Structure 1
Amino acid sequence: MSEAAVVGLLVATVQFATLVYLAGLGELIAERSGVLNLGVEGMMAMGAVSGFMMALATGRPWIGFAFAALVGMAVAGIHALVSVVMGAGQVVSGLAITIGGLGFAAFIGQDAVRERADAVFTDLGIAGLADIRWVGPILFNQPPVVYLAGLLGVAAWFVLNRTRLGLALRAVGESASTTDSVGHSVTLLRSGAVLIGGAFAGAAGAFLSLYMAAGWTEGLIAGRGWIAVALVIFGAWRPGRLAAGSLLFGFTLALQPRVQTFDLNIFGLEVNTISPALLGILPFLLTVVVLIAISFRARHRPSPAPAALTLPYRREER
């Protein structure tokens, strides 16, 4: 395997990791407040199509990116209304958001399927660093969203672990009644966390349509929202571990379309002869393996999941 092929694989790994990390970070924030959001896939689809269409209309990718975040937040508002304010089942609400979001995104994006956006994100190419062998292309010649995702991860860690707001958010995810009793609004905290999670999911979708695919087509998200949900469990609800898991899953996503170009022989098997359909299940197979491993591990130690996750809260029940 050539150096260029390895570098290209690692560059793509960082980009795919950014995609699932953005969506996973939003899901982590929502789940730390006690709300499971299974609508990430639908929110990403809505963000992808709306961001792409806005960039087409304005000629500015950042406007499309910001609009996608707002659209993701709006869709998340439905989930917050149904599951937090009305206290309905979080699983059912999230699944409905995913099904509805995918369908509506396909509908409104029909005319944009064959369009190619001129206004897309480009690599920054940091002067003096991007030309460093190996490290330069991987770390210093990426689109700006990659660096933004890193900053958002640091900000999320700081807020969750070093601020009163983060303490209240973590507390409501452990015991909503206790948090309510000390004067914090459970509805406000949880709804805010869900809205932020939706904004992150919408932004992740826009990164896909405004850079990685540079276009929109039905089925563009291709299950990556579900990977983001699984990543939160893999990362034990911690931003740092989530980042490490994102790199692992990013590697499998980047490897899938490239492995057939590699001239490798593993135990007598030519890698480039493996069926593309079989390679396509690699990220999801890894997801299943990780979840099984975590379930076995949880038998011997307390679960790190927020104690009030998926549990609705009604003040009159206190």
Structure 2
Amino acid sequence: MSATLAQAPAPQAPSGAHLVAPRRSWRQPVVLWVMGLLALAAFGLGSPGGTSSTFGLSAAGQAVQLPDLPLPTRPTALVLALVGLAVAAVVTWLVKERRPVSVWWSVLFGVAFAVAFLVWAVADKQISFVSLLQGSVFLATPLVFGALGGVLCERAGVVNIAIEGQLLAGAFLSAVVASLVGGGAGVYVGLLAAPLAGLFFGWLLAVFAIRYVVDQVVLGVVINVLVVGLTSFLYGQVLVQDGDRWNQPGRLPRVPVPGLSEIPVLGPVLFNQSIVVYLMYAAVVVLHVALFRTRWGLRVRAVGEHPKAADTAGIDVNKVRFRNVLMGGAMAGLGGAFFTVGSVGAFGEEMTAGQGFIALAALIFGRWSPLGALVAALLFGVAGNLASVLSIIGSPLPGPLLLMAPYLATLFAVAGLVGKVRAPAADGVPYKP
């Protein structure tokens, strides 16, 4: 099959097209320069002089305790702002020379900007850097599952706007099943039940988008509204009326990995988490290898890029799409279990609070790659957790602005940091054999 695809004739460019240079896009450099100058003025020059920002580098109870790290606020913020401006200069040069801009330049800029903001916000105070990162990985988990569900769908050519609804459905079913089963095993049964809810709404998406060729964006919005209405109705009529029976799922305990959890800094961040976080690690690795190193992944990418060529090579395009949408729905549903058995310990009305749409942003920022989606989701997780931490220690920023932090980070990332990206060529395009 690989040989057949390789032998397929490439589309011919119009005469003289090879002489036309690719069109420049200055959006990313402009946004980087604006944000870099903002970091320099607000976090660097605007930091109070003679103060330090102190970060704890060890978790409580670790065998190896590292000393706290005090950083001079203004010099550190200035250096990080200059790093961001240097990245902006490099990206500007790359765009000017019409060279490809790696996503890692955006990641480096985002990290420098975020740490500069953190140093400025923690001036004359102290926070635990380990706890901040640990909570960020935890909060990024549903975003990663949602983004992976989108990768599975969109790599096969189906737009999945219904991630928000699939997350919410998974959260609801996991809470109900875990409550009914009860006991120590209840949370694990609820975790296993969550993908079934996502699978069902993935099936609805697949049937109407692939078989009946309904507009995929409109269909995703409709499914989201359907799930919100259905779960809100059942929450008010059942879960509120008899919460002790229907809405007491409990929470998954943290499971430290022996040895690895004692590694300074990274140990408690990565290896002292609940089982749903470890499942997220496994899902990213397995899906990345499957997409880019297996025959199945080649078939999926062929269907998403050139379905006609894939059909000619003997691949059943719509069957591949149908299966991928089902798997994507199940993946997003598994992420929904985070909100109930993984985090809160109960179902709340519309508790996903737009996380499915942030997962879509992570999918785009990660350029339809599992590893890229992981990095993007971690950045958004840091933004969300940082808002909570700063509100506790008394940040100079007003509370409503802190609540907006993850959504503002999403807007900046998609609007400028991500640069020019290209979705799979047949994404959202129905295929009729």
TM-score, length-scaled by structure 1: 0.90
The equivalent of 1:72 in structure 2 is 198
1:9 is aligned to: 132
Q: Kindly provide the CA deviation profile for residues 159-208 of structure 1, in whole angstroms up to 9, marking residues without a partner as x.
A: 11111111110011011122112211111111111111111111111111
Q: Deviations over 1:55-85 (max 9, x none)?
A: 0011221211121101100111101011111
Q: 1:118 to 1:33 in 2, by over 3 A?
A: closer
289, 299, 307: which one aligns with 2:412: 289
Paired position in structure 1 for 2:239: 112
In structure 1, give the amino acid aligned to 2:430: P
1:50 aligns with 2:177: no
Q: Distance in 2 between matches of 1:276 and 1:104?
A: 32
1:103 to 2:225 alignment: no
Partner of 1:224: 355
Is 1:38 the counterpart of 2:161? The answer is: yes
Q: Is the 8 A contact 1:47 1:203 kept in 2?
A: yes
Amino acid of the residue matched to residue 193 of structure 1? N
1:41–1:102 Cα contact (<8 Å) kept: no
| 2:207 is equivalent to residue 81 of structure 1 | yes
Alignment gaps of 5+ in structure 2: 1-53, 60-127
- 1:281 CA displacement: 1.4
Q: Is the CA contact (8 Å cut-off) linking 1:46 and 1:71 kept in structure 2?
A: yes
The structure whose Rg is larger is 2
Query: Where in structure 2 are the equivalents of 1:38-187 lying within 5 Å?
Result: 38-59=161-182, 60-110=186-236, 111-112=238-239, 117=248, 119-187=250-318
* Distance in 1, Cα, partners of 2:258 & 2:296: 38
**Does the 8 Å CA contact 1:24/1:232 hold for their aligned counterparts?**
yes
Cα deviation digits, residues 31-70 of structure 1 (max 9, x gap): 1001111011011111101111100011221211121101
1:66-107 CA-to-partner distances (Å, cap 9, x unmatched) read: 211011001111010111111110000001011111111112
Q: What is the letter of the counterpart of residue 215 of structure 2? A: G
Note closer, same or farther for the CA distance 1:205–1:118 as it changes in structure 2 (3 Å cut). Answer: closer
Distance in 1 (CA, whole Å) between partners of 2:145 and 2:189 is 18
Could you say what the CA RMSD is over the residues aligned between the two structures, in angstroms?
A: 1.7
Distance 1:260 1:34, change over 3 A: same
Runs (4+) of structure 1 moved beyond 4 Å?
113-116
- The answer to whether the aligner puts 1:191 opposite 2:311 as a matched pair is no
Which amino acid in structure 2 is aligned with residue 121 of structure 1?
Answer: L
| Letter of the 1:45 counterpart | L
Q: Distance in 2 between matches of 1:194 and 1:112?
A: 30
**1:134 shift after superposition:** 2.7
Give aligned-pair identity as a percent: 33
- Mapped to 2, the partners of 1:88 and 1:227 lie a distance apart of 24
Shift of 1:132: 4.1
The alpha carbon displacement at 1:118 in A equals 5.2
Counterparts of 1:126 and 1:232, CA distance in 2: 29
Identify the residue that residue 400 of structure 2 maps to in structure 1: 277
Report the secondary structure of 1:34's partner residue: coil
1:248 alignment counterpart: 379
How many aligned residue pairs are there?
302
Question: What is the TM-score with the length of structure 2 in the denominator?
Answer: 0.67
Q: Which amino acid aligns with 1:169?
A: V
- Distance across 2 between alignment mates of 1:187 and 1:203: 24
Residues 198, 152 of structure 1: CA spacing in aligned structure 2 closer, same or farther, 3 A cutoff?
same
| In 2: Cα distance, 1:231 partner to 1:185 partner | 29
Does structure 1 retain, via aligned residues, the 8 Å contact 2:208–2:214?
A: yes
| Matched AA of 2:142 | L
Q: Which has the higher contact order (CA 8 A, sep 6+)?
A: 1
Cα distance between partner residues in 1 of 2:148 and 2:207: 21
CA contact (8 A) 1:87 1:314 kept: no
Alpha-carbon distance in 2 for matches of 1:244, 1:39: 22
Give, in whole Å, the separation in 2 of the partners of 1:103 and 1:256: 29
